[in-house]
Amino acid sequence: MSLLQTWYGLSDYEIEDRLNDSISFSRFCGLQLNESSPDHSTLSRFRSIMTQTKAYDKIMKNLNKQLEAKKIIVKTGVIVDASIIDSPLKPKGQSTYEIEESLQEEGEDENKTNQIIKIHKRQNRHQR
């Protein structure tokens, strides 16, 4: 779990979710399909104990040596959720507004009212 967490930059909560959701992650950790992953607090306690005893760094160095000897290069990555979601449609182009003045009765400034009018300008596909 710690290796996957390090390689993919996942939090304790995220690695727990991935192990329960991803067959490849579960298989890498030796979990069967009917088994659930250890929870995030178990991983946190494990890492704390390993760090306090200074075993975590030794194990990682040893593991990296073994990977290098087999000419395996580990690169970190990011998992991206590419779900499609609905979103409201927006008119293309910019909207501009004009203020139109109108008088209730001619010549009287007290009865002057303003009305805002929205004007949609469509942008051609070839313009940017």
The predicted pLDDT at position 59 comes to: 87
- Dist CA 62 CA 50 (whole Å): 14
Phi, then psi, of 59 in degrees rounded to 5: -65, -45
**Low-confidence residues of the chain, pLDDT below 70?**
75-128
Residue 40's Cα: distance from chain center in Å? 19
pTM > 0.75: no
The predicted pLDDT at position 99 comes to: 63
Per-residue pLDDT reduced to its tens digit, 55-89: 988 888 888 888 888 888 776 666 666 666 666 66
The predicted pLDDT at position 45 comes to: 92
The predicted pLDDT at position 114 comes to: 61
The predicted pLDDT at position 47 comes to: 87
Instruction: Indicate the pairing of strand 112-120 with strand 95-103.
Output: antiparallel
The predicted pLDDT at position 98 comes to: 64
